[in-house]
Amino acid sequence: MERTVVLERFDVDRIRKDFPILSREVNGKPLVYLDNGATTQKPQQVIDAVVGYYSLLNSNVHRGVHHLSQLATDAYEVTRRKLKPFINAAHEHEIIFTKGTTESINLVASCYGRAFVNAGDEIIISAMEHHSNIVPWQMLCEDRGAVLNVVPINNAGELDMETYCSLLNERTRMVAITYVSNSLGTINPVKEIIDLAHAHGAPVLLDAAQAVQHVPVDVQALDVDFLAFSGHKMYGPTGVGVLYGKEKWLNAMPPFQGGGEMIKDVTFAKTTYNELPFKFEAGTPNIEAGICLAYAIDYINAVGLDNIAQHEQALLEYATQQLLQIPGLRIIGTAGDKSSVISFLVDGTHPYDVGLILDKLGVAVRTGHHCTQPLMDWYGIPGTVRASIAMYNTKEDIDILTAGVQKAAAMLG
């Protein structure tokens, strides 16, 4: 199964050859894939690892003494070991495997909430959150009689930090904020957010689903309490995600689910829970995805997050310049610090119609509210066209996108 790419310099043409789907056609046109905020494509190394697992290793983990089970368990735990330096966690047992960012956030809302949130307590989120970082906290507040406070944004899509400071108080029990907005591309000042929350005794959860594949993330330098992200958005398989949590919080929280693996001893009178990280990993996990996520981490490390960030930032700036030359086009989200997302509208058109025309031209973008309906309501729009960039995208991709949007504007306007 072992196959690792090592790049001495950033070479986008070389990288594209590792992603077989990029060579296919859609509607008779070469595929231009710009829906990376929804999910990224997979390099051949990850695809081979998936086939290799089912061909050579398929077995349950942590349970068997037989050879295949031992091999599968070792391979599964390799991923945890690689995740530790990837986000610079202090301990491997602070890495919890989940189904994805959504489950990671639900885990914290449920388990931390049961232990620490009571009637009259307050939770802070922001106006730009994905539904997965809104609804779990709403559910917790409804269940516990707590209050959900929302940090507003300005027209550029930047957090109102003055209001954030005013919302923090002795009743604040959690601050849950996105690191990078999936709809706007805004990179939030997360270190400042964390330091201010800690000054009031409140822990912070960062939704890093749109961050870890674009920029280096150091949980110890940030001093963040919880961090959530998904494998499928970082060139890995679907169905696996990560929750990082500081040891002190994970030990203080009750389990998320009951069942196998999360127990140490079970009687009908009482159950003793397992140690970290297994306390939060009930049942048979997505073994294949967990193992193969290591290959995605290897790939990102080989290319280099600094190289990726530099390439994507250059494409973001180029795409912004090109798209703004189209009459009537308006970019939603113009923060001074942005990641590789461009959301836009064209006067006289609906995002869905623009997306359909782009699809006919082989260009894959996302249209709609992007699971951020409150954000769209704030802007007073039904949704946007969203082009999201990854390491394998090129200036040619942006040129084809721009020409497609121009054609759509001419047809629909």
Residue 115: count of CB within 10 angstroms of its CB: 11
Q: Phi, psi at residue 183, to the nearest 5°? A: -100, -30
SS3 call for 368: strand
SS3 category, 126: strand
Look up residue 199 and give its amino acid: A
Token pair listed for 35: 């829906």
Angle (CA) 142-172-169 rounded to 5° is 135
| Crossing angle for the helix pair 287-303 and 305-323, to the nearest 10 degrees | 80
Residue 111 near residue 128 (C-beta atoms within 8 A): no
Give SS3 for 389.
coil
DSSP assignment of 233-257 equals GGTS-TT-EEEEE-HHHHHHSPPSS
Round to whole Å and give the CA distance between 75 and 77: 5
Q: State the amino acid at position 346 in one-letter form.
A: V
Q: Say if residue 264 is exposed, middle or buried (CB neighbours under 10 Å; 0-12, 13-18, 19+).
A: exposed
CA distance 315 to 288: 33
Give the CA count within 13 Å in the CB-facing half-sphere of 20. Answer: 5
Integer Cα distance of 109 and 366 in angstroms: 28
The gap between the terminal CA atoms of the chain, to the nearest Å, is 52
Q: In whole angstroms, what separates CA 412 from the centre of its chain?
A: 34
Query: Per the structure block, which two tokens stand in for 149?
Result: 């406070």
- Residues in CB range of 142: below 8 A, 6 or more apart: none
Total count of residues recorded for the chain: 413
How far, in Å, CA of 103 to CA of 280, rounded?
11
Query: Does the active-site annotation cover 141?
Result: no
Dig out the tokens for 210 from the structure: 């749109």
**Annotated catalytic residue, options 141, 165, 292, 371:** 371
Residues annotated catalytic, as ranges: 371
